Structure 1
Amino acid sequence: MIIPGIFEDNQEGVLKLLTMLAGVAKVVQLDIADGLFVPRKTFTDLGFLSGHNPQTTIQLHLMVQKPEAYSMFLPKEITDVCAHAESFIYRPLCLGEYYDLLKSKGKRRGICFNPDTGFEEFAQVIKQCDYVQLMSVYPGDQGKAFLASTLTKVRGFKKSFPDTPIQLDGGIALDNVQTAVEVGANSLVVGSRIAKSPDPVKAYTEFVLKFDHARRDFYTSSQPNLHH
């Protein structure tokens, strides 16, 4: 799946993109930043999303020091929440409690890892999650180059957790979609190359076509050759 990523400093910018993509993209990812976990700061009040077009659901990516502070009151339009493992490194006991909170609210749960963070010590939490998001850039802004080292990390994660869907976020471009799919990514979050495009809907469509083609190629090549 291709998921457009929205990283805007104000609510107006978010609503503009949501309106453009409503009914086109099934899911969009909304980035929230507190200015502490990453230097950039966005709005933090999510109430304005209530009543948003139900044809497009919203995935929340929390780049914040305390994700639980942003998850107490979530509009129904937000279907799932992805928090960073790094937010809990110095308070690991809070991580399980946080995911219990999300479960009690009926939200899908994702855990996100920065490029330099290993996932091995989070094995028990990963098993509780609906998906994992691996950052293929260092978080904080859009438009950064894809880190090739992420591909090795995806392969390692796939080997350790074969049943957990993998989502890649950062630096996704048309020329690396194929490779991302081949190593095992199930979903790709595309930021500026959709959101900052002159025509976000057209850009989204191009990425979907590229992704679907890559998936078909991968599936075909992985099937046994019945002619031999």
Structure 2
Amino acid sequence: MKLLAPSILSADFWHLGKQVEAVIRGGADLIHFDVMDGHFVPNITFGPVLLESIKNHCNLLLDAHLMIDNADMYIPEFVKAGADWISVHIENNPHIHRTLQLIKDLGAKAGVAINPGTSLSAIEEALHYADFVLLMSVNPGFGGQRFIERSIERLRRLRQMVDSINPSILIEIDGGIKLENLEEVALAGADVFVIGSGIFSSDNVEEQTRRIKRKLISLEEV
């Protein structure tokens, strides 16, 4: 099954509630939160308070991508706020097994994220313990970036790694995903598609979500 996870990083925050409602009506499967602290990545976004607010009015799964230092310190707060999926980066979480186990012990799905410049071999051991992998197809920190074409080959190789080590893992991809490259990315092996500006820059967020979801459903049959 191909899952759609709109990223609110690209949403219009003046109309955030309405836009979240629009992607829900359009068929979104998860809501993706890009959490940044200005240290691990050069941007600051939002924390568990916003996630909790949306959780109180939304019955979709909430997917928190923690691009932050000292993730272990904040993971309990995000789970308490309502995060169902939590991913942390291999690049700044040296005790990845411990961190993934912490997420699981708190009742959430545990994911390991990896940047475009990091060798896939860095997450090989983590694949034995993770529920999902988040493959970044842009350098994290800002929305609206151009998809790094090299990511297609990385995605294919990651698909092979996952299938040989832990086939139950889902592969999530984030960065520059749009309706125009959706098929290529899906055929390369992605299961979960994080889309920000590809949805929220549209004049009709609900209809754009519906178009993308329909495309993903059609690709499940390929």
The TM-score bracket by the shorter chain reads 0.7 to 0.9
Q: 1:62 aligns with which of 61, 66, 81?
A: 66
**Unaligned stretches of 5+ in structure 2?**
none
Residue of structure 2 equivalent to 1:71: 75
Q: Distance in 2 between matches of 1:132 and 1:38?
A: 19
Q: Distance in 1 between matches of 2:74 and 2:19?
A: 22
User: What percent identity do the matched residue pairs reach?
Assistant: 25
Q: 1:86 aligns with which of 91, 107, 120?
A: 91
The number of residue pairs the alignment matches comes to 213
Measured against aligned partners, the alpha-carbon deviations of 1:146-191 in whole angstroms (never above 9, x if no partner) come to 1110111111111122113211111011111111111111111111
Q: Distance in 2 between matches of 1:123 and 1:14?
A: 37
RCO higher in structure (CA 8 A, sep ≥6): 2
Check if 1:7 corresponds to 2:27. no
2:12–2:19 contact (8 Å) kept in structure 1: no
Cα 1:75–1:13, aligned 2, differ >3 Å: closer, same or farther?
Answer: farther
2:179–2:198 contact (8 Å) kept in structure 1: no
1:37–1:63 contact (8 Å) kept in structure 2: yes
SS of 1:71's equivalent?
helix
Residue of structure 2 equivalent to 1:19: 21
Residue of structure 2 equivalent to 1:194: 199
Q: Which has the larger radius of gyration?
A: 1
Residue of structure 1 equivalent to 2:31: 28
**Which TM-score applies when normalising by structure 1?**
0.84
1:8–1:14 contact (8 Å) kept in structure 2: no
Shift of 1:139: 0.9
Shift of 1:48: 5.8
Matches of residues 104-123 of structure 1 in structure 2 within 5 Å?
104-123=105-124
Q: Distance in 2 between matches of 1:139 and 1:9?
A: 17
Q: 1:181 aligns with which of 176, 186, 205?
A: 186
Shift of 1:4: 0.5
Cα 1:9–1:62, aligned 2, differ >3 Å: closer, same or farther?
Answer: farther
Structure whose residues are more often helix by fraction: 2
Shift of 1:22: 3.8
